[in-house]
């Protein structure tokens, strides 16, 4: 094992190309010299920002688990680091401990989320930290998972380990936002993606919609797709657009599952989604004749009954699909908004006026105006001549301060 220690030049986020991860989702023991130098980091905030950088770049690939980053420091030198890379594999703390080896004894670990203290698909990280001889644990946020939520911190303190909570918690809150929402709502985190004209139309009245936005915006959508666990659409969109709903980026290996709501079993065998089901995980929700169901399964589709929108997202979370992207027509979009199931909205807007009746939202909201819920604008960005707006719902219990616990 490589026990050589390193210092790091600054707490800037590591580039995605800087990560050293093998095919088994393990961090290698060789750190990238591009990100490392002889100028030491001095504060807890600096080291935690490095851990947050690792968590940030693992976001979107850990299923229903949070993307956590961890950094181990001894005598102000970096001796280990890691991130949780895939559900069912080692957590960030274990990767960092493996890299640190014997240097973990007497060291401090910086971790973006409270270490787990229960056995799930992997063992408790708290026990591993205690056994390795870690003497101080710095945590950005308390875990909202009821199996953890303060219990991990308590077990570390009972073992005589110093625990500090709340370092860089605002940044950590943003990175772990989707996980916290799913823990509170008990369902997948739902992201709505729409592309519209300046007057809020999804298409012309003749249903022509390709392409509303420019090529740069469409490439950005593929990056969004690559960050989620599943893409969900309705049978109407399949009929009109015959989409693939996959990620088409050079070098990309991660593909989200594709889910189609098809209540009456209308999907055609010849559609692209069905014909590529052996290549990309494809889930159809609806009622089918025995003969058609057998054909769909033979082509690689998973067939499940449709119940309701609310139960779909509880089911997807249990399937390990925490981040679900919606790419659908106005009927499904309207239903999701009416049921308050949209947690995040990514809106691409073209500076053109379409007119007509193909609006994003098709119901009429009752008065008074000030009682209509608002989305909170998180970020706006100009992509070519199109506008990208990122919005989120303010879910109760997600953003409240959870950094302090009573001893």
- Confirm whether residue 331 is marked as ligand binding: yes
Q: pLDDT for 177-207, tens place per residue? A: 888 898 889 999 999 999 988 888 887 777 7
Could you say which of 178, 201, 230 is where a domain stops?
178
Least confident of 57-61, 83-87, 330-334: 57-61
Contact 172, 201 (CB under 8 A): no
In a domain, 183, yes or no: no
Residues 6+ apart with CB under 8 A from 294: none
What's residue 397's pLDDT? 65
| CA 110/CA 103 separation, integer angstroms | 15
Tell me the pairing of strands 136-139 and 230-234. Answer: unpaired
Say what the pLDDT of residue 193 is. Answer: 96
pLDDT of residue 119: 65
Question: Do 347 and 227 belong to one domain?
Answer: yes
What average pLDDT score do residues 332-346 get?
94
Domain CATH for 148: 3.40.140.10
Q: Is the pLDDT of residue 125 over 70?
A: yes
**Is residue 17 a part of any domain in this protein?**
no
Measure the CA–CA gap between 182 and 167, rounded to whole angstroms. Answer: 23
Tell me the backbone φ, ψ of residue 348, rounded to 5 degrees.
-105, 125
* Same domain (yes/no): 110, 258: no
Tell me the pTM.
Answer: 0.79
Active site annotation includes 93: yes
pLDDT at 407 over 50: no
Which has the minimum average pLDDT: 80-84, 117-121, 263-267? 117-121
Mean pLDDT score, 99-124: 83
Is residue 209 annotated as involved in ligand binding? yes
Element (H, E) at 303: strand 302-304
pLDDT tops 80 at residue 146: no
Range of the domain at 71: 42-178
Spatial distance between the Cα atoms of 283 and 324, rounded to a whole number of angstroms:
13
CATH number at residue 374: 3.40.430.10
- CA neighbor of 42 nearest in space, from 78, 79, 14: 78
* 20 in a known ligand binding site: no
Identify whether the C-beta of residue 256 lies closer than 8 Å to the C-beta of residue 230. Answer: yes
Q: Is residue 399 part of a domain?
A: no
In a domain, 67, yes or no: yes
DSSP state of 323: E
Are residue 344 and residue 377 in the same domain, yes or no?
A: yes
% residues pLDDT > 90 (the chain): 39
Residues 366 and 260 occupy one common structural domain:
yes
178, 203, 228 - which closes a domain:
178
Of the residues 93, 114, 178, 344, which is catalytic?
93
Co-location of 112 and 257 in the same domain: no
237 assigned binding-site residue: yes
DSSP state letter for 256: -
Which tokens sit at 104? 């973990």
Q: To which residue do tokens 């990056």 refer?
A: 223
Q: Is 268 annotated as a binding residue?
A: no
pLDDT in tens, 211-232: 888 888 888 999 899 889 999 9
Yes or no: say if 235 and 262 are a contact pair by the CB < 8 Å rule.
Answer: yes
- Is there a domain that residue 107 lies in? yes
pLDDT at 87: 74
Q: Let me know if residue 398 belongs to a domain.
A: no
pLDDT tens track for 367-388:
788 778 889 998 899 998 899 9
| Residues 129 and 156 reside in one and the same domain | yes
If 0-12 CB within 10 Å is exposed, 13-18 middle and 19+ buried, where does residue 221 land?
Answer: buried
Residues 280 and 339 in one domain: yes
pLDDT of residue 392: 92
Confidence (pLDDT) at 6: 36
Structure-block tokens of residue 262: 């098809």
Residues 240 and 118 in one domain: no
pLDDT over 50 (residue 25): no
Please indicate, yes or no, whether residues 54 and 105 belong to a single structural domain of this protein.
Answer: yes
In the predicted structure, residue 79 carries a pLDDT above the cut 60: yes
- Tally the C-alpha atoms within 13 A of residue 220's C-alpha that lie toward its C-beta: 20
pLDDT value for 174 = 83
Select from 136, 157, 178 the last residue of a domain.
178
Lowest mean per-residue pLDDT among 37-41, 133-137, 333-337: 37-41
Residue 395's pLDDT band, with cuts at 50, 70 and 90, is confident
State whether 61 and 146 are in the same domain.
Answer: yes
For 332-369, the DSSP string reads HHHHHHHTT--SEEEEEE-S----SS-BS--SPPPSPG
Residue 275 has pLDDT above 80, yes or no: yes
The SS3 call for residue 125 is helix
Domain co-membership, 147 together with 246 = no
Q: Is residue 248 part of a domain?
A: yes
What pLDDT does 36 receive? 40
> Could you tell me if residue 106 is inside a domain?
yes
DSSP 101: G
Which of 95, 99, 143 is CA-nearest to residue 117? 143
263 and 380 part of one domain: yes
Number of domains in the chain: 2
**Cα(192)–Cα(342) distance, rounded to whole angstroms?**
6
List pLDDT tens digits, range 34-68: 244 444 556 888 888 888 888 887 776 777 788 88
Write down the pLDDT at residue 54. 85
Task: Determine how β-strand 7-8 pairs with β-strand 36-37.
Answer: antiparallel
């Amino acid at each position: 094992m490589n026990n050589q220690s390193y210092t790091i030049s600054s707490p800037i986020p590591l580039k995605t190309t800087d990560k050293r991860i093998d095919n088994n989702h393990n961090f290698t023991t060789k750190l990238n010299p591009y990100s490392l130098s002889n100028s030491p980091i001095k504060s807890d905030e600096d080291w935690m920002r490095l851990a947050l950088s690792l968590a940030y770049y693992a976001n979107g690939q850990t299923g229903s688990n949070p993307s956590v980053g961890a950094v181990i420091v001894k005598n102000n030198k970096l001796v280990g680091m890691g991130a949780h890379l895939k559900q069912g594999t080692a957590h960030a703390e274990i990767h960092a401990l493996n890299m640190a080896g014997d240097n973990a004894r007497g060291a401090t670990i910086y971790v973006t989320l409270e270490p787990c203290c229960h056995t799930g698909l992997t063992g408790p990280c708290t026990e591993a930290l205690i056994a390795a001889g870690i003497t101080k644990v710095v945590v950005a946020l308390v875990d909202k998972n009821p199996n953890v939520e303060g219990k991990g911190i308590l077990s570390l303190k009972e073992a005589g380990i110093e625990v500090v909570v709340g370092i860089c918690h605002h940044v950590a809150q943003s990175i772990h936002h989707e996980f916290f929402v799913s823990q509170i709502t008990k369902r997948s985190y739902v992201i709505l993606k729409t592309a519209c004209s300046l007057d809020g139309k999804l298409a012309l009245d003749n249903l022509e919609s390709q392409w509303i936005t420019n090529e740069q915006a469409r490439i950005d959508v593929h990056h969004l797709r690559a960050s989620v666990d599943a893409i969900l659409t309705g049978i109407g969109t399949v009929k009109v657009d015959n989409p693939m709903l996959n990620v088409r980026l050079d070098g990309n290996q991660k593909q989200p599952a594709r889910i189609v709501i098809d209540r009456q079993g209308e999907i055609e065998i010849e559609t692209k989604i069905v014909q590529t089901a052996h290549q990309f995980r494809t889930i159809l929700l609806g009622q089918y004749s025995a003969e058609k169901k057998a054909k769909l399964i033979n082509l690689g589709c998973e067939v499940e009954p449709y119940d309701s929108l609310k139960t779909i997202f509880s089911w997807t979370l249990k399937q390990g699909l925490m981040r679900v992207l919606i790419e659908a027509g106005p009927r499904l979009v309207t239903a999701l908004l009416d049921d308050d199931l949209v947690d995040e909205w990514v809106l691409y807007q073209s500076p053109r006026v379409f007119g007509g009746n193909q609006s994003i939202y098709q119901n009429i909201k009752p008065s008074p105006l000030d009682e209509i819920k608002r989305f909170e604008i998180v970020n706006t960005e100009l992509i070519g001549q199109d506008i990208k707006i990122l919005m989120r719902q303010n879910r109760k219990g997600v953003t409240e301060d959870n950094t302090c616990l009573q001893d």
